[in-house]
Structure formats: C-alpha cells, structure tokens
Copies of this chain bind each other. A is one copy, B any other.
Amino acid sequence: MAGFTYRRLACDGRARTGVITTPRGEIRTPAFMPVGTAATVKAMHPEQVRATGADILLGNTYHLMLRPGAERIARLGGLHRFMGWDRPILTDSGGFQVMSLAGLRKLTEEGVTFKSHIDGARQMLSPERSMEIQRLLGSDIVMAFDECTPFPADEGVAAQSMRLSMRWAQRSRDAFGDRPGHALFGIQQGSVFPDQRAESAEALRAIGFDGYAVGGLAVGEGQAAMLGVLDYAPGMLPEDKPRYLMGVGKPDDILGAVERGIDMMDCVLPTRSGRTGQAFTRRGAVNLRNARHADDPRPLDDGCGCPACRGYSRAYLHHLTRAGEILGLMLLTAHNLQYYQDLMGGIRAAITDGALAPFAAATREGWATGDIERL
C-alpha cells in the first residue's frame, strides 16, 4: 500500500528489527505502543509521551465511539489533531472491548449490538461500522473487526469463533477499501489449537493485509500458554509484514514475544501501574508505597533519563504516592513509559548486533534479583 511499508533491517533467531514507514512518521520495531484509550495517554502530555521514544500510540475504538463520538472527532479534524499527537496512531477494532466492557451484548453474524457502559445508549459494531469509525478517527493502522475468542474455549467453539472472525476479516477488507497511507491489519485467531491458527493464517493471507496480529492471547491463558502459541503462530504469518501481539504485556512477556518474532505490542500496564504506585525497573517492579522508600534520597533509577528519576528522590515519589498526589502518578507513568521504551531500544539494538540472547539473559537476571538497592 502506497505510503505504508515495512522493512526488516536485521534478524536474530526468530526476532526481527525493522522499520514501518507511514506518512506520519517511522515506527521502529519491535515497537511498544502506549495506550491512549480515551484520546489521551492517561496523566501524560503527548509531547512527554513522545519524549520517552514512543513512535506510535494506540487508541480504543470502543471508548472513542461512545465518548466523544467518532463523527465528532472527525468534525474536529480527526484523532491526531484532537489529542495533539501528530505521529502514527493504531486503533483497535472495538471487538475486544465491546465484549469485555459493554452491557447487554448480542453477537450475530452481522456484528454486535450492545449498551454503552457510559450512558446505556444502544450501539452497534460490525466490520463495516468499525472500519467507518476508524476512518473517521483518522487512524493510521486500522484493525480488522474480529471476535476475540475467550479463553478457555473448547475446540469446536474456538473454530466457530475463528471462522466468524475470518468472515469478518473479509468484510473488514472490503469495507476498508483503498486508502493510501493507511494500513489494515488482519487478526489471527484459533485459541491454543495449531490447526486452527494455521487455518486462520491461511484465510488472512488469502485476503491480504498490510500487517497481521496474533489475536486471542493475553486473555487469561497465562504466560506459558501464550508463549506456547507464539512458538508457532507468528511463523504462519507473512515474513514481510509486521506482526502485532495485542495487549502485551509485562516486560518479560514483551521479551518473550520478540524472541518469537513479534514486531509490535501495546499494553496499559506501564500507565495503569504508574497510577497505583508501581514502577518498572531493571531490577524488577517496585512498589513506591512501601515504607522502606520513605527516607531514601536516591533516585528511583539513576540510569534512567525520565523526569521522575532526573529530578526526585524515592522518598519524594513515596510521599506523593502515599498522599495521593497527582504529580506522583504523572511521574510514575512517565517513568514506566520511559522504562518500556528503553527496553524496546535495548531489544532493537541487541537484535541488530545479533546479541539478543545475551541481552535477554542479562535483562532477565536483573529482573529476577528484585534488588532495587542495586539500582
């Protein structure tokens, strides 16, 4: 598709590093996408998000269609202008969140009708409506509308769900049309069943997409089962297109996914954790509410360049967190997003150098110590 390209720069085992080029800028892969659910990455100015090294944000179709509304955002010039982020945005299809958040859902071949969790208004999502909403938002990477197969699902239920998603994938492709500079990604389903993953991948390749997501993971199956699927599922997807793992994850999940050939990920974890006093570091996760930080004059991580680590002590972050101060969650959100982007940068450099294995081992060793005294 004109204006949207993916170029692999290096491989190390199954891991890949590369660059996605869009009219709104480049996306270095493997990429972590901060989540901007309701047209804002919570507690962050967009320029602060960019300063962490983020090349692309994720927006949630379900949330935005309900409030403030896709047509309204279109009238106001699109999501980029609305939220002050001029780089690429990927939007999900709304399919996952409508099933997890909305009330009174009814799923048919046509799509899903539901009640808004905000005001109870009756709403509808279908492949065609999802494509329309994502077009109205001005999304750079549009996700096909699918049903995220719940976990666990028995083989018959999973197959039925996957095949519905494949029919919806075709309808998404048809409704998306030809939009130079904008990409449409298909989503592989098939739960934990290799035959179904293969059937789904084949169906998606036959339709043809600009990128491919491995769907139906990070929904409660646990890391071992997720990595089990990632041992084979990404390899079923085209090598020359980006591969996206939705809703992942913890730093260790991210590393495991990259090792298995994933190029893009998103997760609310760094932002949500930041709002509850949890910080991610090279020595594992740290709860700033813990009393042991109350008198600690050291920065959280003096090797980190984020505003929290450059300007403040652990004692101050502890104080802000305990006092429920907004600056506390602003600073910890910024730190966590910086940590995630620094991790991605380290991963990309390691793949380029053919040194992902030692990088991963050293990184996991650091996390395992849990010893932030050594930061």
Question: Does A330 lie within 8 Å of B45, measured CB to CB?
Answer: yes
A311 to B46, CA, bound (A): 10
User: Which residues of B sit under 8 angstroms from A320, Cβ to Cβ?
Assistant: 39-40
Q: Which residues of B contact A295 (CB under 8 A)?
A: 72, 75-76
B76 touching A325, Cβ below 8 Å: no
Q: So how many copies of this chain end up in the complex?
A: 2
List 7 tightest A-B contacts by C-beta distance, closest first. A43-B326, A40-B327, A68-B319, A84-B311, A38-B323, A40-B325, A76-B315
Interface status of A83 (Cβ within 8 A of chain B): yes
* With A72-B294, A295-B76, A297-B77 as contacts: A326 and B319 at CB distance below 8 Å: no
Contact A319 B67 (CB under 8 A): yes
Query: Is B68 a contact partner of A315 (Cβ separation < 8 A)?
Result: yes
Residues of B within 8 A of A297 (CB): 76-77
Q: Is A6 an interface residue (CB 8 A)?
A: no
Q: A42-B327, A76-B313 are in contact. List 11 more A-B contacts (CB 8 A).
A: A38-B319, A39-B320, A40-B320, A42-B325, A46-B311, A67-B322, A68-B319, A72-B294, A72-B295, A82-B313, A84-B316
Give Cα A38–Cα B319 distance, bound, in whole angstroms: 9
Does residue A44 face the partner (Cβ distance < 8 Å to B)? yes
Please determine whether A67 and B315 come into contact, CB atoms closer than 8 angstroms: no
Whole-angstrom distance from the CB of A50 to the nearest CB of chain B? Answer: 13
What is the 8 Å Cβ interface bit string for chain A, positions 159-173, against chain B (1 contact, 0 not)?
A: 000000000000000
Taken together as a complex, chains A and B put the C-alpha atoms of A295 and B82 apart, in Å, by 11
Residue of B nearest to A77 (CB): B297
Interface string of A316-340 (1 = CB under 8 A from B): 1011101101111110000000000
Question: Are the C-beta atoms of B68 and A307 separated by less than 8 Å?
Answer: no
Q: Which residue of chain B lies nearest to A275 when distances are taken between CB atoms in the complex?
A: B326
A151 part of interface (Cβ distance < 8 Å): no
Pairwise interchain contact B67-A323, C-beta atoms closer than 8 A: yes
A-B contact list, 23 entries, CB within 8 Å: A38-B319, A38-B323, A40-B326, A40-B327, A42-B326, A42-B327, A43-B330, A45-B307, A46-B311, A67-B319, A68-B294, A68-B318, A68-B322, A72-B294, A75-B295, A76-B315, A76-B316, A82-B315, A82-B319, A84-B312, A326-B329, A326-B330, A330-B330
Partner of A327, one of B45, B319, B325: B45
- Write out the residue numbers on chain B whose beta carbons fall within 8 Å of the beta carbon of A316: 39, 76, 82-84
